[in-house]
A and B are shown apart, each in its own frame.
Chain A
Amino acid sequence: MKKKSRLLMLVGALLPLFLFVFPLWNITLEAPQYPTPLGMDIYINDFADMHPHDIKNINLMNHYVGMKYIPESIPEFKIFPAVIMIMAALGVILAFKTNYKWFLGWFIIMTILALAGIYDFYLWEHDYGHDLDPKAIMKFTNPDGTVMGFQPPLFGTKDILNFRAHSYPQLGAYFLAVGMALTFISYFVGKREKNFKRL
């Protein structure tokens, strides 16, 4: 009967590996002059075009307000995959070798890491949207006189000048979330299994 919690833990720890197949996040920009919106899929280790050449065209468009080009790569693309691999491996070991209490520990660590990742994403977006080239062709200010930023939303939909920016998790993120939920459940299943055994 102990198998059920271990199986949940095992599956839960392995599901985040789908991040290597499916995108984690997507940012899409809609505007009247782009009937087919421009979009960028963010993978655990890469930025990818939603349609061919989208990132190139986002860069071209963004340079008018002085935003930096979206880099080919960022350090996170090395760190995040390593974190996911290590956590998955750790989860597998826990599933086979330890008792259910460790499952909760894995979940808590993973949650902290995920929050850290989201915060890092926010910082990157903030920098990207606010650290503008002082020689920018076009300068816009907010109603209060401060320099307008062009930060896309962390989550949700936001209007930026003539664009409507959408920022939403993608399939990879859902696998991560479901995986984490399973590990959380595995803790309670393990606990019940233990009590059941005692009875």
Chain B
Amino acid sequence: MKRISQILFITAVLSLVITGCADISKDKKTTNGALGSNAAEKVYVAPGEHDEFYAFVSGGFSGQLSVYGLPSGRLFKVIPVFSQDAEKAWGYNEETKPMLNTSYGFVPWDDSHHPDISQTNGEVDGRWVFINGNNTPRIARIDLSTFETTEIIEVPNSAGNHSSSFVTENTEYVVAGTRFSVPVPQEDIAIKEYKGKFKGAVSFISVDPDHGNMDLAFQILLPGFNYDLAHPGRGASHGWFFFTTYNTEEANSLLEVNASQNDKDFIAAINWKKAEEYIKQGKFKTMPANYAHNVYDEKTHTATSIMKKEVKVLDPAECPGLVYFLPTPKSPHGCDVDPSGEYIVGNGKLSADLTVHSFSKMIKAIENKQFDGDAYGIPIIKFEDALAGVVSQAGLGPLHTEFDGKGNGYTTFFISSEVVKWKLGSWEVIDRKPTYYSVGHLMIPGGNSRKPFGKYALAMNKITKDRYLPTGPEVTQSAQLYDITGEKMELLLDFPTIGEPHYAAGIPADLIKPRSKKIYKLEENEHKYGVKNNEDVKVVRNGKEVHVYMTMIRSHFTPDNIEGIKVGDKVYFHVTNLEQDYDVPHGVSMIGANTSELLIMPGQTETFIWEPKQVGVWPFYCTDFCSALHQEMQGYVRVSPASSDIELSWSLGED
């Protein structure tokens, strides 16, 4: 994205000179308008009141997912997904380490891009959020009863898992499309052999309707283009999935030039219902693969990672009716389907126009076999035959469109830094508002569903420059909130975000709040090393391994004095929080421990490892202020020389 911005910077400057005068005066008016209006009132949430919406904003290169309230823009939580997080011991404690396992080993970082909320009957249902790891292809599922990542599945045959993770109408599937085409299966070949030899896999990951568990159902091996973004069909187009492509030139070097030669790239329309039929008929190939499936169990409070060894693959050339190409100008980024499911918007990021395809016209063209040749056996539909309309000259560098449910589309324009509102059907521009600066994606709560909640639009900006106090060369990333209830949009609020906010998903808070879990029930704790009452605490030696079964409650650990540990031991602290009160976690940390502290919720057990290096008496303590006696919540471990014969002993309240 930054590359493109560099090339097109000059274009942008020119465009400002050409079209900018009117815009600049409008810009000023907007600022004055916002100050003069009640924008502050519209985003004010009084103390103790709750925000109306949750916004789940991707953390980009932070690998995480952050949760903001709308309209206040307040940050509630950063949910660790693909990156280790010391705040929550995510990827540090023994329970969550397996979540970051991949076929490449433990990968404690990723690049998270596109969150999407689970849907029922085409409407957001507030059960799960899915998000993609772009770098080491993965899809994660976050349970919204706990706001914690509970499953991560790796995607084989994929590289740069970018056109992900979007869900179908009833969350039948989450898709994972590869941005980079690669040899499938991987092999040692010359990069120049790209054309024809490299393939782009799009993956359909099934989701268990009751428990959410994911499974890689099948992959479709598409030609070696780059698959950028995707959206599911809905309504009449339910059963289809649409992916934008770039680099239909199949270039393998200097793509900024070589992948920008074709006047039109494609939107790949995939009939996944048809794919299911082909799978049933056995028309797939089973390919050897190696990918991790990591699941966190809420009862054992422990994740397990297993390696899967196979994947079912469909070849579209052998599966007629599975895939069609819709020509779309020019290097389209966003691929967005309106709430009715009839219109598929392709935003050519090197074009000034939005191209809107008609689903019903596409079907008619398919029925009449009006094709314009094929690519690797995949029929190409004639551009005009599926075209619904064009929003022409709406701005520069259209990226992504969302819908308000009232017949309007809202498109972000990266190069001209603005949000443009336009009308579905008449394709006329209604309003435009500047963003600060270089806007990427846009989010309207429910905007990727049949039922958008068209009250706010959240623009996620790539560049902030003068909007906040400077913090050195690296300035904060940013989002901007617009009121979209009127004919004209109104800028209400700027707020900083974590990492680069690529995309977001939003939902009314009322759809999530009733499902919120307050504590983990102690009687349901099935952790292998969990301890439910103080009679069962113990310290057990197994060679050089020592396991401490410890409990915590306001305001002490049991035990709080441990002796008989030796230098060279590997000490596992398995700590159970016996509290059953809302909002009473305890933390624990040991001097010199080489991992993050633990933060343990009521009823939960977590484990960390401590390897004492020096003789002495060493303290541990609670790291989360838990009560008036929090400072007293501490204990000691006596460490003796490796040759010592002091027996293990432990105690609480004995002098």
Interface residues of A (CB under 8 A from B): 36, 52-53, 56-57, 60, 64, 137-138
Contacts and interface: CB of A to CB of B under 8 A. Distances in A.
A146 B628 CA distance: 24
Contacts of B582: 36
A54 to B, nearest CB: 9
B629 A137 contact: yes
In the complex, which range does the number of interface residues on chain B fall in?
under 10
B625 to A, nearest CB: 13
Interface string B616-636: 000000000000110000000
Contacts, number: 18
Given A53-B519, A57-B581, 6 more contacts: A53-B580, A53-B581, A56-B581, A60-B554, A137-B628, A138-B628
B558 to A, nearest CB: 14
A137 B582 CA distance: 23
A36 B516 CA distance: 15
A57 B628 CA distance: 15
A49 to B, nearest CB: 10
A64 B628 contact: yes
A60 B553 contact: yes
The secondary structure that dominates the B interface is loop
Interface of B: 519, 553-554, 579-582, 628-629
18 contacts: A36-B582, A52-B580, A53-B519, A53-B580, A53-B581, A56-B580, A56-B581, A57-B580, A57-B581, A60-B553, A60-B554, A60-B579, A60-B581, A64-B628, A64-B629, A137-B628, A137-B629, A138-B628
Nearest to B553: A60
Nearest to B554: A60
Nearest to A63: B554
A64 B628 CA distance: 9
A60 B553 CA distance: 9
Nearest to B519: A53
Contacts of A64: 628-629
A137 B627 CA distance: 12
A36 B580 CA distance: 14
Contacts of A52: 580
Contacts of B579: 60
Nearest to B580: A53
Contacts of B519: 53
Contacts of A56: 580-581
A47 to B, nearest CB: 16
Contacts of A57: 580-581
Nearest to B581: A57
B529 to A, nearest CB: 23
Contacts of A60: 553-554, 579, 581
Interface centre among A52, A53, A56, A64 (most CB of B within 10 A): A53
Contacts of A36: 582
A137 B628 CA distance: 10
Contacts of B629: 64, 137
A56 B554 CA distance: 12
A137 B629 CA distance: 9
Contacts of A138: 628
A104 B580 CA distance: 49
B143 to A, nearest CB: 20
Contacts of A53: 519, 580-581
A173 B553 CA distance: 36
The 9 closest A-B CB pairs, nearest first, are A53-B580, A57-B581, A56-B580, A60-B554, A137-B629, A53-B581, A57-B580, A60-B553, A64-B628
Nearest to A36: B582
Contacts of B580: 52-53, 56-57
B478 to A, nearest CB: 33
B520 to A, nearest CB: 12
A6 B188 CA distance: 100
A57 B582 CA distance: 10
Contacts of A137: 628-629
A122 B582 CA distance: 31
A138 B555 CA distance: 13
A57 B553 CA distance: 11
A103 B629 CA distance: 58
A191 B553 CA distance: 63
A191 B582 CA distance: 58
B518 to A, nearest CB: 9
Contacts of B554: 60
B554, B581, B582 — which one has the most chain A CB atoms within 10 A of its CB?
A: B581
Nearest to B627: A64
A64 B580 CA distance: 17
A102 B229 CA distance: 87
A53 B554 CA distance: 15
A138 B632 CA distance: 14
A37 to B, nearest CB: 12
A138 B628 CA distance: 10
A57 B580 CA distance: 7
A64 B553 CA distance: 13
A60 B602 CA distance: 13
Nearest to B579: A60
A54 B5 CA distance: 58
A5 B529 CA distance: 66
Nearest to A38: B581
B603 to A, nearest CB: 10
A199 to B, nearest CB: 66
A160 to B, nearest CB: 16
A138 B554 CA distance: 14
B486 to A, nearest CB: 36
B224 to A, nearest CB: 57
A173 B519 CA distance: 33
A137 to B, nearest CB: 6
A64 to B, nearest CB: 7
A60 B554 CA distance: 7
